[in-house]
Amino acid sequence: MSVRELTHFIGGKHVAGTSGRFGDVFEPSTGEVQARVPLATKAEIEAAIVNAEEAQKEWGSWNPQKRVRVLMRFVQLVQDNMDELAALLSSEHGKTIPDARGDVQRGLEVIEVCLGAAHMLKGEFTDSAGTGIDVYSMRQPLGVVAGITPFNFPAMIPLWKAGPALASGNAFVLKPSERDPSVPLRLAELFLEAGLPAGVFNVVNGDKESVDVLLEDPRIKAVGFVGSTPIAQYIYETAAKNGKRAQCFGGAKNHAIIMPDADMDQVADALVGAAYGAAGERCMALSVAVPVGEETADRLVAKLTERIADLRVGPGTDEKADFGPLVTADARDRVHGYIAKGVEEGAELVVDGRDFVLAGHENGFFSGPTLFDKVTPGMSIYLEEIFGPVLTVVRAADYEEALRLPTEHEYGNGVAIFTRDGDTARDFTRRVEVGMVGVNVPIPVPIAYYTFGGWKASGFGDLNQHGPDAFRFYTKTKTVTQRFPSGVKEGDIEGAHVADTDHFVIPTMD
């Protein structure tokens, strides 16, 4: 396999890296290196910021409708190039082609919501707040903002970040994951082709050194991040220390509560897809099943075991595969380490995925589906995010115990309950301490015109991703109180004195 040399995308052009430092981009199904990605220097990051700062002056001056027309053309270009983007994404991440298409499509859905930017950016107006005085507000762009995005959704999350930022009139600097950077680079090309001015959207590849430059440079006004909780907390604290807005989302341990009255076939089908899809490399994967009662648990484990036996693991190009390999050998080894730890801690290993080998792809980063039963809340495989195709079953004696598990867990990203009882579902959605809740929905990701965000150690910051929160995050509000004094004729500016309290009155409520 010939190894591609990747670039940065700065000022509307592909720019070769100059640091001499590179990261390997693998083909997860074979284990081969398919590309080398340059890790940026401080000077390269600063060049992207300079280009963004200059380009934002023009872009920010455009009216919202004009900016939206660029996004409309971008949506069409992405749709026209969907096959190429999905294949490229699959080749670097390992997820199946259908899953890769979904990755791109979910990103586009946020861009489509951003086509309503003119409405989202409207301010407020109060007529006659005081005698002859009107008050109004306006939303203005921050300037240059940055996104630091993870490997598991190399199209969706960059678009979640960039879409509202661009629609609001900001310029954007993206630091994607160095594990699968080709799709973000291709998206940059499509933005340019759609009519986005050069420099408004830049891509710089790098590692922590690059991240720290973005966090410390005063020209970057806001930072959005998705990744692990320790890094999310670091970015949030460092950004705040440097006077930036920050919107940082971390790890998860999403529970599914299964009540005795649930349709067990529906539950088993939902759990298999939600736990093992994309090899479990999703922050919204359901990784903990909580059946209520021993009978419910026995029925659930039996049905899960049957369905797991029928799962097909294959390369991303296998259209019939249920999921593909993990993104790197390190990721696979980390998952296998957790499985070993679960056995050591006393969990019952029902299905072991560590020995899975795909003929013809023996060097790929594959792990088969794993199922644990009789996991307890003190075990590492319950407390920590595994980020792989591992489902754990924690048996609860009653509803109240089942409710406590996600409520008391460190993470609070997503949770689901499976029941036919409306009272139980309503009680659960109101009381559970988790940011996103599904009722008979296994992956409770809100549609794009609502906001996405977890609680507790899953999220840092006051505003969530996409939906109205995103436009609030990427804009600053200016409020104007105005009065045009009567008796001052046009051109008679000398007659209006700041000290003249008859002309300049602070509005009151009476």
Specify whether 174 is located in the same domain as 38: yes
Q: Is 114 a catalytic residue?
A: no
Specify whether 282 is located in the same domain as 208: no
The answer to whether position 492 is within a domain reads no
- Residue 396's CATH number: 3.40.309.10
SS3 assignment, position 226:
strand
Could you read off the pLDDT of 62-104 as tens digits, one per residue?
A: 999 999 999 999 999 999 999 999 999 999 999 999 999 999 9
Specify whether 203 is located in the same domain as 75: yes
Specify whether 200 is located in the same domain as 331: no
Ranges 294-308, 382-396, 418-432, 476-490: which has the least confidence? 476-490
pLDDT attached to residue 138? 96
Does the pLDDT of residue 498 top 70, yes or no?
A: no
Specify whether 175 is located in the same domain as 26: yes
Q: In which band, very low, low, confident or very high, does the pLDDT at 486 lie, cut at 50, 70 and 90? A: confident
Structure tokens at 74: 């971008």
pLDDT attached to residue 489? 55
Could you read off the pLDDT of 259-293 as tens digits, one per residue?
A: 999 999 999 999 999 999 999 999 999 999 999 99
Could you read off the pLDDT of 293-321 as tens digits, one per residue?
A: 999 999 999 999 999 999 999 999 998 99
Annotated catalytic residue within 185, 211, 214, 283: 283
The answer to whether position 43 is within a domain reads yes
Range of the domain at 431: 254-454
SS3 assignment, position 384:
coil
Specify whether 151 is located in the same domain as 293: no
Could you read off the pLDDT of 345-375 as tens digits, one per residue?
A: 999 999 999 999 999 999 999 999 999 999 9
The answer to whether position 509 is within a domain reads no
The answer to whether position 485 is within a domain reads no
Specify whether 227 is located in the same domain as 269: no
Does the pLDDT of residue 502 top 90, yes or no?
A: no
pLDDT attached to residue 394? 98
- Residue 208's CATH number: 3.40.605.10
Taking residue 489's Cβ as centre, other Cβ atoms within 10 Å add up to 8
79: left (phi over 0), alpha (psi -120 to 50) or beta: alpha
The answer to whether position 286 is within a domain reads yes
The answer to whether position 233 is within a domain reads yes
Residue of higher predicted confidence among 142 and 508:
142
Ranges 165-169, 177-181, 399-403, 494-498: which has the least confidence? 494-498
The answer to whether position 112 is within a domain reads yes
Total domains in the chain come to 2
The answer to whether position 195 is within a domain reads yes
Specify whether 179 is located in the same domain as 282: no
Specify whether 240 is located in the same domain as 291: no
Rounded Cα–Cα distance for residues 383 and 342 (Å): 11
User: What letter does residue 243 receive in the DSSP assignment?
Assistant: T
Rounded Cα–Cα distance for residues 200 and 192 (Å): 9
Specify whether 132 is located in the same domain as 203: yes
Taking residue 312's Cβ as centre, other Cβ atoms within 10 Å add up to 10
Specify whether 238 is located in the same domain as 265: no
Specify whether 55 is located in the same domain as 203: yes
